[in-house]
Structure 1
Amino acid sequence: MKKIPVISFVGKSDSGKTTLLEKVIRELKNRGIKLAIIKHDAHQFEIDHPGKDTWRHAQAGADIVAISSPGKVAIIEKRERELSLDEVISRISGVDIIITEGYKRENKPKIEVIRSAAHRELLCRPEELLAIASDLTWDMGVPCYHIDDASGIASEIERYLHSFAG
């Protein structure tokens, strides 16, 4: 099975990761790239809603609840422990790239997002970074894009994809 390249968008809270990712996802999709997103949540999240059938099934004791329609499928699995990023990645197929939001401590190439209103220091070492997206200028030997340059960042991701395939 072909290994899927992974890039993590990292940054402190309120740095603009999600806003930038929305733009980059649209840009990559316009370029014909199939992608998956894995969002890390340090808290408990809920995608099931009290009273709905899937919620009721889970409350009755089901360990895995799946809901499927012509356009989507979701699988909700109760876990004793959090899955590692690699364990989550191993469950994904059929895409050209997997992008994560978060997972700053994982050993994956990263694009660090820094908005000066939120912070002014890098979380990552330069050798961990594929690029920096910021409203500040950085001179660290790492490509630096303006935080609104979704096209430039998408091009950097495409270059990475080509190098991964080559």
Structure 2
Amino acid sequence: MAVMQIVGYKNSGKTTLICKLLEIFSAMNLRVAVIKHDVHGFEVDREHTDTFRHRQSGAIATAITSPWRTAIIEEQETRLADLIQHFDHYDMTIIEGFKKESYPKIVMIRNKEDLALLQDLTEIRAVVVRQEAEECLNHEGMVAALADSSLPCYKADEAEEIAKLIVLSILSQEN
């Protein structure tokens, strides 16, 4: 199963990068699934929809499907490994978040405090530095420190290069 995590702290640019990568992979005719981690809770049903009413009335799982889309909502946490297994028939799964999991990952850096992630996490394949962080990191000598590491380092606007890295990483996972 081809999996790549995009991790970083809140507002580090994970979703923006993933959306750019999805456009690139779609143009390459790759079928990509995305799993997002949300520690704050979320709602996908809107009030007054049938599935919302079903859940409000006590259903512990609901599903809705059409010829174009399917959504399943369960009132329980699902293990990441189970979600990945559910998407195993796609070309690739991108995971947004789940920092502590041990899948190959790209780490988003937005300020010098985020550099601690490089010490705390495993399976790091690359680092992506947001544009607004570059000046701060340059000023503090952090970009040089990143360059001295063996990790590839990209700017957030280098989505094409990051996509190439992911494709190469996925090919090596399959072999």
TM-score, normalised by the number of residues in structure 2: 0.84
How many residue pairs are counted as aligned between the two chains?
160
Unaligned runs of 5+ in 1: none
Higher helix residue share: 2
State the shift of 1:84 in Å: 2.2
Gap change, CA 1:124 and 1:83, over 3 Å in 2: farther
Seen in structure 2, the aligned counterparts of structure 1 residues 15 and 72 have a Cα distance that, compared at 3 Å, is same
The separation in 1 between residues aligned to 2:15 and 2:122, in whole angstroms, is 23
For 2:67, which of 54, 57, 70 is the aligned residue? 70
Matched letter for residue 124 of structure 1: L
Structure 2 gap ranges (5+) = 135-142
Q: Which of these residues, 53, 56, 78, is aligned with residue 53 of structure 2?
A: 56
Deviation at 1:119, TM superposition (A): 4.4
Shift of the alpha carbon at 1:78? 1.3
Local SS of the residue matching 1:37 = strand
Give the corresponding residue for 2:174.
165
- Deviation digits for residues 78-121 of structure 1, max 9, x if unmatched? 11xx22211221222321111111010111111001123x8452
Amino acid aligned to 2:126 = A
Range 92-101 or range 39-48, more displaced:
92-101
Partner of 1:22: 19
Cα separation, 2, equivalents of 1:59 and 1:114: 40
Q: TM-score, normalised by structure 1?
A: 0.88
Note closer, same or farther for the CA distance 1:148–1:119 as it changes in structure 2 (3 Å cut).
farther
**Identity of counterpart residues, as a percentage?**
38
Which runs of structure 1 show a deviation greater than 2 angstroms over 4 or more consecutive aligned residues? 124-128
